[in-house]
Amino acid sequence: MKKMKKTATLLMLLILIPVLAACQRSKTGNEDADNALKSFSAILKAYPSAKGYHEALNHWGFALPSGEKFEWSSDMSANKADFAMVMLADPLVDAGLDIEKLDENEWLYEPAGKDDMGENLPNRLILPFNVSDKKVKTDGSEDSMMKILKENSSLIKYHEEQNHYRLLLSEGNEVQWTEELGKNDSDMIFVLKAQPLIDAGLDIDKLEGTGWTFREAGSEPGMGDNPDQIVKTFDIKQ
């Protein structure tokens, strides 16, 4: 009888080991990216009305209170950009930015109008970023984000001093989100490399009132060798 009990116990352990391993397995292949995904998912769950899906373009979007959006692809093979920062163009134009002087290989400008769902849209400045053209099947917004991060988890960095995650979209351009809602003054932050915008006419002395602020290179602890940037912070609950 004792031998039978030992055998049964051993069989149970053999069953539990792969189950426990599966529970601990990384979703993206990187601990910081896994934690960033968890934090991002918590934001989506807390503000479901801010999330939307654009079927024609195969992407998800999260609308921020002042009109900006953060977008990510549901099918990397169907889009030229897997991430996109969508910003209001007019405040930057009013601060001197000449849209025509921006590098058209890096920036997109979309004039005001209605989208294919009838929504009124303002003039928008878009910074797209492609991760991969790999075709993967996704199941919803969080799974779509996970599949993109899994393709290149090195895009995620954790900022220990400020308790937030950084999604690096080319040199100097970032989307940041809080590790935990309520833990930081800002829930999400858009960061843009300043020099290309300054070269296109942006006057950083005219940013007051736009929601954007100028940040000098090296002025942010824990941010490495980041260049001059302009930054806009968002408190989603407002």
pLDDT at residue 31, rounded to an integer: 96
**pLDDT at 222 (0 to 100):** 63
pLDDT of residue 73: 96
Is 208 within a domain?
yes
pLDDT at 230: 98
Around Cβ 118, how many Cβ atoms within 10 Å?
A: 6
Is the pLDDT reported for residue 4 higher than 70? Answer: no
| Per-residue confidence band for 218, with pLDDT thresholds at 50, 70 and 90 | confident
Q: Which of 55, 56, 59, 58 lies closest to 69 in space, CA to CA? A: 59
134-187 pLDDT, tens digit each: 998 999 999 999 999 999 999 999 999 999 999 999 899 999 999 999 898 899
Q: Is 1 within the bounds of a domain? A: no
Q: Is residue 20 part of a domain?
A: no
Predicted confidence (pLDDT) at residue 223 exceeds the cutoff of 80: no
Torsion of CA 58, 153, 28, 70, to 10 degrees: -40
- Does 13 fall in a domain? no
Say yes or no to pLDDT of 117 above 80. no
Share of the chain above pLDDT 70, in %: 87
What whole-number distance in Å separates Cα of residue 128 and Cα of residue 134? 17
Question: If we measure between CA atoms, which residue out of 163, 141, 165 comes closest to residue 153?
Answer: 165
- In total, how many domains does the chain have? 1
Q: In this model, does residue 37 exceed pLDDT 90?
A: yes
| pLDDT > 90 fraction of the chain, expressed in percent and rounded | 73
pLDDT at position 12 is 52
93 versus 119: which is more confidently predicted? 93
Instruction: Please give the average per-residue pLDDT across 61-68, as a whole number.
Output: 95
Q: Is residue 193 part of a domain?
A: yes
Q: What is the mean pLDDT of the chain?
A: 89
pLDDT of residue 211: 96
Average pLDDT over residues 89-100: 98
Indicate whether 18 belongs to any domain. Answer: no
pTM assigned to the model: 0.86
Give the containing element (helix H, strand E) for 231: strand 229-234
pLDDT band per the 50, 70, 90 thresholds, residue 224:
low
Tell me: pLDDT of 17 over 60: no
C-alpha pair distances (Å), 205 with each of 91, 136, 175, 194: 13, 45, 23, 12
Check if the beta carbon of residue 205 is closer than 8 Å to that of residue 212. Answer: no
User: Is 14 among the domain residues?
Assistant: no
Q: What's the whole-number mean pLDDT along residues 57-67?
A: 94
Give the pLDDT band of residue 67 (cuts 50, 70, 90).
very high
Residue type, 3: K
Range of the structural domain that residue 101 is part of: 28-234
Q: Give the model's pLDDT for residue 57.
A: 87
109 in any annotated domain: yes
